[in-house]
Amino acid sequence: MVTYNATKGAILTMAKCLALDLGQDNIRVNCLCPGNIKTPALVNHAKSLGKTYDEVAKELAPLNFLGRIGTAEEVAACAAFLVSDDASFVTGATLFVDGGYSAK
């Protein structure tokens, strides 16, 4: 997990550095960090464990404050916000879309 986790940290820092470097050109850079989201990758992960998606979802859902798996539509809505004019003064930010998992 060291490589995976180090890469995640590097991406967060890179986004902040890019926000700093590109802000003068009115270019905003933010980082969107989804948690457990129902995607084909999660379904395939369940299969690789010899389990159904529902079994894995039942195990993962209690790990966040909202007690469920997120949807791709929820992540897309957050991405749409970040690229919208409503977020015109948001840069260098990290938005966790993980049901509160990272707040633990």
CATH 3.10.310.30 fits 2-103, yes or no: no
Domain spans, the chain: 2-103
Residue numbers annotated as active site: 4
Q: How far is CA 18 from CA 11, 82, 94, 98, 100, in A?
A: 10, 15, 13, 24, 26
Whole-prediction pTM value?
0.90
Tens of pLDDT, residue by residue, the chain (104 residues):
899 899 999 999 999 999 999 999 999 999 999 999 999 999 999 999 999 999 999 999 999 999 999 999 999 999 999 999 999 999 999 999 999 999 98
